[in-house]
Every structure is written in structure tokens, then in C-alpha cells.
Structure 1
Amino acid sequence: MTTSVNITKCDNELYVIATTGAGTSEICHITSGYFDPVAYQVKLNSILPAGSYDLTLIGINWGGPAAFSVNVGGKDYTYNNQSAPVGVVWTQTIQVKI
């Protein structure tokens, strides 16, 4: 059972969205840059009812390097690219249960 999302890198913009057959919920939207550290944690069970979800991570780059690091339920999902293009550079969908 997954209950937490912990974000430690966001260069430049990250969306976390939970989806079911009934619709979507935005869990968070973070913007940051210049390799500044990020420390954001949310417990999914505090904002979503129990059930199964597709949790989608969407990383957007504004130019130059891009880096994202997200831990979901103890598992790390990362993206690092020193010459990433502008726009959506990373997506990851994870099935979670709350």
C-alpha cells in the first residue's frame, strides 16, 4: 500500500496527478530551478480516498539541464539530462494503492 510521495529534485516544473476511471486529482505542482534543493512530501491517504490510482509524474524543462527525483512508497523515480530540450521531458506512470 502506497501512502507517501517525497520530491527532492525539481528542475524546472513537476506535476503529480492521480487518475482513476472517475477522473483526476492534482496532487502537487512544483516549480524550481538552478539545482536548488526541493523538499516536499505528501501522504496520499490524507487527500485521496482509499482505492487504486495511476499516479503520473510529468517533468517540464524551461531550457538547459533538467532533473527530477520523486520517491513513491519507498521506490525512487528519477530523470537527469544536462541538455534536455524545452517542454515535457519526462513522464512516469505508477500504479498505487491507498
Structure 2
Amino acid sequence: MANTINVKQCDNELIILAYQGSASFELCRILSGNYNSVNVNINIYPGQFQGTLLLDGINIGLNGNYNIALAPGIYSLIGLCVDWGGPQACAFSLNGVGVSMITTGASIGLFAYTAPVTLTV
């Protein structure tokens, strides 16, 4: 069974990384803003990592299903939320469970991040 990341909010940039002791993988970089809607599902399945999913929703809403391969194993998953000014929003879930955000208080730059969440592929 694949793991699914569902991104519901992103203003302006969400970067999701999976890492182990020997390597890290940038799973996705999602750009959005201007109050555009975001509803992106990212299915993670066993296989050879092929690169980062880059989605640009700065001027249009984002909606869709995407697949990312990651070698079988146990990873820590983290999210980094970056704002370029103005409204801030960042929310995603892993397998239907919301991932909690830790806010930094910054008005520009890194405004929120997640504690590591276990991802088993």
C-alpha cells in the first residue's frame, strides 16, 4: 500500500523532505499564493527515487494526484513552510493524519516546520 501525502494549504512555499541516516530526498516543492486553492495528493510507493515534484500554483490553483518512488525503508518526514510576505498558510497530512506545524513567528522566510514524522515505505 502506498503512503499518501495530501497538501491542502500552501502560501507561499512548502518543501517536504524524507531522510535517513545516509541520505535525504526532497520529495516535493509546492509554490502557491494569491489565495489559490491547493488540493494535491502525493502517493509514495517503493522504487528508485527519480527527483523532486515541483508544482507552481502562484497564478492558478493546484489540484491533482502525483506519484513519487522512494526506496523501501524507514524515513523521517519533515515539512518546511516559507512565506514571501503577506498571508501565511501551510497544511498537509500523511495517510489521513494531519501533520502538526511548529510556528517560528517570522513574517517572512521560514514561518513553520514540522517535527519529524515516521514514514515507512
Partner of 2:30: 30
Q: For residue 65 of structure 1, report the CA deviation from its aligned partner.
A: 1.7
Identity %, equivalent residues:
28
Q: Match of 2:119?
A: 96
Aligned length: 96
Matched, 1:69 2:91: yes
Deviations 1:36-89 (A, max 9, x none): 11122111115112211011100001112201110111111365x8x9510001
**In structure 2, how many angstroms separate the alpha carbons of the residues matched to 1:73 and 1:10?**
18
TM-score with structure 2 setting the length = 0.71
Runs of 4 or more consecutive aligned structure 1 residues displaced over 4 Å after TM superposition = none
2:20 aligned partner, one-letter code: T
The answer to whether the Cα contact below 8 Å between 1:18 and 1:55 also exists between their aligned partners in 2 is yes
Question: How far, CA to CA, are the matches of 1:59 and 1:28 in structure 2?
Answer: 12
Q: Which whole-Å CA distance do the structure 1 matches of 2:15 and 2:35 have between them?
A: 17
- TM-score relative to the length of structure 1: 0.86
1:86 equivalent in alignment to 2:108: yes
Aligned counterparts of 2:106 and 2:87: Cα–Cα separation in 1: 6
Which fold has the larger relative contact order, with Cα–Cα distance below 8 Å and residues 6 or more apart in sequence? 1
Matches within 5 A, 1:12-51: 12-45=12-45, 46-51=68-73
RMSD: 2.1
Query: How far apart are the structure 2 equivalents of 1:70 and 1:64?
Result: 20
